[in-house]
């Protein structure tokens, strides 16, 4: 099983993702303070990890759900879900990622 805590930024909404691999699929339990991500979570309960890690074959289900339900194109939650799926499926090692933003005025 893998877990991610995603702190989305200025919106202040936090999301927790639990992912568990089971017979070729990864089950997802997503909780969020964001209403858009709550809708995404209802739709995205399991994914095929091999379809999620590349856009060469088709659009990952997580990104499709992000486009459908997220109102902010720069929301880091869909990418965070995919990273969690990778770890749960054994396709990546758990390592924190970050984006640090500042203004250079």
Per-residue pLDDT of the chain in tens (105 residues, 90 and over written 9): 999 999 998 999 999 999 999 999 999 999 999 999 999 999 999 999 999 999 888 999 999 999 999 989 999 999 999 999 999 999 999 999 999 999 998
Query: For position 45, what pLDDT does the model report?
Result: 98
Query: For position 57, what pLDDT does the model report?
Result: 84
Domain 2-88 has CATH 1.10.286: no
Query: For position 105, what pLDDT does the model report?
Result: 83
Looking at residue 11, the DSSP 8-state letter turns out to be T
Query: For position 53, what pLDDT does the model report?
Result: 92
Domain ranges of the chain: 2-88
pTM: 0.94
Query: For position 50, what pLDDT does the model report?
Result: 95
Measured between alpha carbons, how far apart are the two ends of the chain, in Å? 43
């Amino acid at each position: 099983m893998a877990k991610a805590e995603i702190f989305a930024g200025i919106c202040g909404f936090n999301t927790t993702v639990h992912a568990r691999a089971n017979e070729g699929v990864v089950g997802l339990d997503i909780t969020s303070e964001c209403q858009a991500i709550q809708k995404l979570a209802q739709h995205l309960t399991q994914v095929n990890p091999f379809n999620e890690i590349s856009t060469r074959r088709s659009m990952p289900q997580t990104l499709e759900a992000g486009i459908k339900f997220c109102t902010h194109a720069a929301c880091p939650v869909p990418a965070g879900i995919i990273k969690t799926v990778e770890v749960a499926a054994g396709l990546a090692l758990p390592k924190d990622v970050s984006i640090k933003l500042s203004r250079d005025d």
